[in-house]
Structure 1
Amino acid sequence: MPDDLTDEFGEYAHEDMLQALVLSLLTSADLDELCDDADLPQLTHDDGLPVTITSARTYRDAGVLTLDRGVWLELSDGSVFGLTVQISRRPRGEVTLRRR
């Protein structure tokens, strides 16, 4: 495993990679666009405007007191969600990281 990737993702590569992927996905487009892409209905406010993601941070950056990896989401309607990445089984063999 290259040193820079080991430093970046460490011992918990699977959890860290999935956490980074979810964070990237949820901050790369508006929630209504993500719903359209997934063929899901859009969340809207009473005035018809789409609900938006106002903040998406890792649990660590959001100050969530847990050892789990995850993404803390705050939406414009005032709701708050924690999306936890929790491993249920470790890989059977060695897995390496590589840049594309």
Structure 2
Amino acid sequence: MAVRFPWLVAFIFGLLHGFGFAGALSEIGLPWQSIPLALLFFNIGVEFGQLIFVAVVVGAGWLLRQVIEKNSLSWGKVAASYAIGSIAAFWTIERIVAFSG
């Protein structure tokens, strides 16, 4: 089914998550008439976040291409290594703190 109708699988997946999120909103005391607007703005925020992520990745790819074209690959490798290592360290510390308490 996922191969033949991927849009249907995505729709059902999103619908189930929307119901779950709506249930969580009602549990925290949000009135029923406010839930559709909250879901709409939540989804708009998610889409906006995805667009920002894609823009950052495309920008980083463009910057990396500029660095490679100028034969400064060694500097680019060092910068990329530090960036990846910093993110990995941050995520590791964040998860350790989350699991410890």
Q: Which has the higher helix share?
A: 2
**Could you say which TM-score interval applies, normalised by the shorter chain?**
under 0.3
- Which of the two has greater strand per residue? 1
User: Could you tell me the TM-score, scaled by structure 1's length?
Assistant: 0.27
Q: Which structure has the larger Rg?
A: 2
Highest RCO, 1 vs 2 (Cα 8 Å, sep ≥ 6):
1
